[in-house]
Structure 1
């Protein structure tokens, strides 16, 4: 009786407060400790930002993050991933702008990264840490999932199906935490009509609906046996012979492999074969059981596991529909990487997608990510208070439906007025969507496009001795790759354009009705408020352009304070300054600098330049070695047969001279990027410094795109570069944050980046002083950085986030040389 009374008192206190005050979300979360999984994903980032923004009253948020093995054999810690992949993403730009210096303090006070893996028992932790979390955590929000629709079956099973079971095991403790488990509406498979908010039966699949033909635990064991069978086959004598033959035939997987380069090629080939088999087997198994793909199949089994083993715990299952860009927060249109609809929108806007299969009368069930995050927080206080609140479907198809045909018309109408690139005067007349069947569309792709390309590729491969034939063959290969990608999108996403059902949302509506007016505004998740024309044309597509392609969508009634920038074919442009708090840029630099005549001027090495630079190095070499003292280390790290980019800290005007002296004769083919507004203030000044130093202009006042395009052009003429990514000289000798321009350049240049630390020049000639002081100078060249390995590690991030991370990785390498 006493236990029951305490339980009831706890529930009442949660609802109305222990002092009898009116219940609010803020009062419920005050002092609570949360455990959040999936924080590196789209929903996890928005949820973390929302908690910091509006629920900073929480005591602490533990974010479970798996340490990431990198291709160089090292491991990125959970703390580093929190910083590099979560807190530095664009989701936190607005909050950082609002909080200013208080942002870092808020994060350090509220957010704690915990190394763990949902695919391992005890989350892969030490038992002591696991028990500590159990004793502290009050609320668990499980957003972790492998969201690749056709992912490998073993990974999907461990994370999407067995991961929820491990969360249940964690929650079964004396602290009795509530659990909010994020699933998906599409666990309901191919059903039609109204889908109620009911838990899935652990004894039924979506195909037979018979209790005799399916049981989730038996199914899991059968899948595990199949995975073991595939792995065993990969180690058989027959397979080893095939892998050996592939190796001798020159099939190298190292370029695109995420494995460490230390892994032998035979092992890489084996793992690649296993992954492909598991992908195929996952899709086959899912369709045989009545689901569209591996993702929805394994998520459905995860729900069935929750229903079977967590029925006595305070658990809520939240099923969002198609999660897309935010409506309002962290800012309108924010996205983090391509999702389900985004690549289709981009392909159509570029004119590469003439049509798409589907049913124009089917409901396209889209929900903005910020509404989903708000619903998770609003649901939490109600979990466990009543048995009726177990499943919540977060969908728009019932309360505010938009048909696929209507969505397509809004997209087409947008591209009649705007281009994907934002470039005026280059709009295309895009065709109307006719929505053929998937079979018709795939047949058209296969026979009208792919077959002729295969034939021409075969013919032109015979005459590749001619340069024009090789170029044409490359174009054919590029076109074939694009078509095969489109075919893949149709096969994976096609079923979601033929959905003939509506997801009931009455449970979620009840939660919404229980909020105060202020909470409905702050934690809005009412899909009835979505104006689809406004969302698609003013929020969603501009968000794709801005956050995924790097194009700055025009802001109404705002004067552009910077000059127009050069737009590229791929539409990846920017007009934001380097010091903007929101860096949204990714440029196709190969198109950004086309004037070969101007490029010839910068690379031409006439006798005046040769004599001027040699004299400069001689004079400064004598000064460094005999007046200040000079030391150069790590010269052997400089590549000898290809261009490179030296990236260094910047303390003084003497930095450039210190680098040029270190390079000696190789400095003739090195061009320092120098500020246009200072070093090229007039023609005579610019000519002099280009002649004696090799400087080329870099406009730090808003035209960085053209400057980076020029830099890439120099690299392609086999010239190396010297780049100071801090944007100016340090005022106190300390390294300031590197700006993302170096990340963009390194991403496109695909040449080694040489991290370099310059020590002593701040004492020799600091900013604001013109007289040189005697102090030893040291130049330290570090090992080259392979940017491709960073791109592989962050292959699912948006380009602007990748450029930031590359810049931060380079800065860490420079700081390691101190």
Structure 2
């Protein structure tokens, strides 16, 4: 990792926006009193699901570090309170993401955490969210905001698994929310790709998908009874059929769409805020530029390209990949909660966290940046790094990919090498197929609500809760932040 550190002098900066962002903010005119983010969160109690995931962690860290929030209840899947507390410490508070907070509070960090963060044993797939009576009563009378971030994000997981986690469980969280006596707002973390089937500019509005009836899907799943041996294959095939029927490429998108629709149908008078992030990637500015958890959508392609294993790709080179850094999503969520938490709206409010309209980066741009980064610093010794050829025809892509991999590895008549090259090519083909929808997406996501939010934010709020993707320099982000972040964190 020495090359990464030498190349990226800004990579280790923490806790504050980088210099070029500060300069951009200082040139803006003085805004009004702002949204009142700090005032809203002061003393508020928050209940969060999915806090061990990438986005959940970034949201938790930002709220704790930047506001005087009251208590944060984190629903953690564990067998008992001790196990939940251990997960809180090991997976959340001991994460490198929380380094800034540790530096800020020093020896009192653990005491601060105990006073602020409460680990709650639970499971969104169980009745009453798997919580005990004491936890239920405490949260019901205390909580002001619910952030539902927990989800299964495996694109082609079994249909029954995705339905249970992303649809049924979301309804359970909403039913619990309706019993909370001081609740101001229910915030649901969805995905921009619930709007995959639409073309052109997609507006920020609740879903209304013709031909999709959640009750019918429940009935279908209840009637399905394959034997245990065939169940995984059966439910994956069933899910893909149902997704294709209503215009989705993956079962995940279908499940998230149904989750949104169910929340809107069952919420009653609970105010609902829906955040739809696009492709969430490494933190841009804070608390740790480049930080990421796990391998995200583009990350496997970055690793494969850096090893010289991806000489070609399958996409429309002119199509933007809608990348959004994780800290921008967290800031948008927090700012939107503050704006809508004190006002009751009859309809759900929707925000897209996306870049495709305001600051697009195309697949062509991405592979240019990858080439510039890896041409002199490949991930494996003697890796052949050349500019990737991007095809919008799968057969042409596959032919070029296989021929080039064979040539680079000097396969010749060596059967073992031929098998190895075919395995590499198959992996790249499958990776491109899984994310094919993004490479040929015909929709762009409107960010009118975000623009209104930006205009309302004070100068200080804009600096401390950056949400404007227009400030992102994509080349700098890829070279100095994102790629080094993937190599440092996602591959651990």
TM-score band w.r.t. shorter chain? 0.7 to 0.9
Does residue 1:494 correspond to 2:492, yes or no? Answer: no
Larger mean CA deviation between 338-347 and 306-315 belongs to: 306-315
Q: CA deviation at 1:102?
A: 2.2
In the superposition, the TM-score normalised over structure 2's length comes to 0.85
User: Does residue 362 in structure 1 map to residue 373 in structure 2?
Assistant: no
The residue number in structure 2 matching 1:483 is 425
Equivalent residues of 1:438, 1:490 under 8 A apart? no
Task: Give deviations 1:666-705, integer Å, cap 9, x for gaps.
Answer: xxxxxxxxxxxxxxxxxxxxxxxxxxxxxxxxxxxxxxxx
Other-structure match for 1:397: 356
Alignment of 1:623-662 (within 5 A): none
Structure 1 residue 165, shift from structure 2 partner: 1.0
CA deviation profile, 1:391-447 (whole Å, cap 9, x unmatched): 1111111111112212221221222343336x8xx5744133232423443466689
Match of 2:196 in 1: 189
CA distance in 2 between counterparts of 1:449 and 1:528 reads: 38
Do residues 419 (structure 1) and 378 (structure 2) align?
Answer: yes
| Per-residue Cα deviation, 1:146-167 (whole angstroms, up to 9, x for no partner) | 1111112222111111222112
Give 1:24 shift.
Answer: 2.1
Q: Deviations over 1:292-349 (max 9, x none)?
A: 1011110000011112112521110110111000001121111111110000011011
In the TM superposition, what whole-angstrom CA distance separates every residue of 1:82-134 from its partner, at most 9, and x where no partner exists? 12222222211233233321221221111111111111221012344323211
Give the match for residue 447 of structure 2: 505
Compared with structure 1, are the counterparts of its residues 511 and 100 closer, same or farther at alpha carbon in structure 2 (3 Å cutoff)?
A: same
1:340 has 2:270 as partner: no
Q: CA deviation at 1:76?
A: 8.4
RMSD value, Cα: 2.8
Report what 1:240 is aligned to: none
* Partner of residue 278 from structure 1, selected from 226, 229, 235: 235
- Which residue of the partner structure matches residue 66 of structure 1? 77
CA distance in 2, matches of 1:277, 1:215: 21
Shift of 1:219: 2.2
Q: Please say if residues 271 and 348 of structure 2, whose CA atoms lie closer than 8 Å, have aligned partners that are also in contact.
A: no
**Runs (4+) off by over 4 Å:** 442-450, 475-481
SS in structure 2 at match of 1:490: helix
Give secondary structure in 1 for the equivalent of 2:435: helix
Q: Which residue of 2 aligns with 1:516?
A: 458
Q: Is the 8 A contact 2:120 2:135 kept in 1?
A: no
* CA contact 2:152–2:165 (8 Å) conserved in 1: yes
Distance in 1 of aligned mates of 2:233 and 2:94: 33
Counterpart position of 1:135 = 141
Selected match of 1:39 from 35, 42, 51: 51
Structure 2: distance between partners of 1:111 and 1:317 = 24
Aligned residues: 454
Contact 1:383–1:389 under 8 Å retained in 2: no
Note if 1:299 corresponds to 2:310.
no
* Structure-1 residue corresponding to 2:19: none
**Following the alignment from structure 2 to structure 1, what is the Cα–Cα distance between the partners of residues 133 and 223?**
29
Q: Is 1:54–2:66 an aligned residue pair?
A: yes
- Name the CA shift for 1:308/1:287 in 2 (closer, same or farther; >3 Å): same
Q: SS of 2:73's equivalent? A: strand
Residue 289 (structure 1) shift = 2.1
Q: CA shift at 1:374, angstroms?
A: 0.8
CA–CA distance in structure 1, aligned partners of residues 86 and 242 of structure 2: 37
Q: Secondary structure at the match of 2:313?
A: coil
Pair 1:305–1:42, CA change in 2 (3 A): same
Contact 2:34-2:461 within 8 A present in 1 as well: no
- Are residues 548 and 381 of structure 1, via their aligned partners in 2, closer, same or farther at CA, if it must alter by over 3 Å? closer
2:132 matches 1:126: yes
State the alpha-carbon separation in 2 of the partners of residues 278 and 80 from structure 1.
Answer: 34
Distance 1:183 1:544 in 2: 23
Would you say the 8 A contact 2:203–2:445 is kept in 1? yes
Kept after mapping to 2: 8 A contact 1:389/1:507: no
Pair 1:27-2:39 in alignment: yes
Matched with 1:557 is none
| Structure 1 CA distance for aligned equivalents of residues 297 and 51 of structure 2 | 19
Which SS does the other structure have where 1:398 is aligned?
coil
**1:435 correspondence with 2:391:** yes
Contact 1:171 1:178 (8 Å CA) reproduced: no
For residues 370 and 402 of structure 2, what CA distance do their matches in structure 1 show?
26
Matches within 5 A, 1:154-303: 154-173=160-179, 174-201=181-208, 204=209, 209=210, 213-226=211-224, 229-230=225-226, 233-234=227-228, 270=229, 273-303=230-260
Q: Paired residue for 1:349, among 303, 306, 322?
A: 306
1:105 aligns with one of 104, 111, 114: 111
Structure 2: how far apart are the matches of 1:134 and 1:482? 52
The structural deviation recorded for 1:22 is: 7.8
Aligned to 1:263: none
Which of 268, 273, 276 pairs up with 1:319?
Answer: 276
Instruction: Name the structure 1 match of 2:14.
Output: none
Please list the CA deviations of residues 338-374 of structure 1 after superposition, one character each: whole Å capped at 9, or x if unmatched. Answer: 1100000110111001111000111211100001011
The CA distance in 1 between the partners of 2:315 and 2:295, in whole Å, is 21
8 Å CA contact retained: 1:156, 1:294: yes
| Structure of larger gyration radius | 1
Residue 383 of structure 1 is aligned with which of 334, 337, 340?
340
Shift of 1:288: 2.1
Q: 1:440 to 1:131 in 2, by over 3 A?
A: farther
For residues 76 and 420 of structure 2, what CA distance do their matches in structure 1 show? 37
Structure 1 residue 523, shift from structure 2 partner: 0.8
Q: Distance in 2 between matches of 1:484 and 1:344?
A: 13
Q: State yes or no: 1:114 paired with 2:120.
A: yes
Q: Report the CA distance between 1:283 and its aligned residue.
A: 2.3
Output aligned runs, 1:756-771, within 5 Å: none
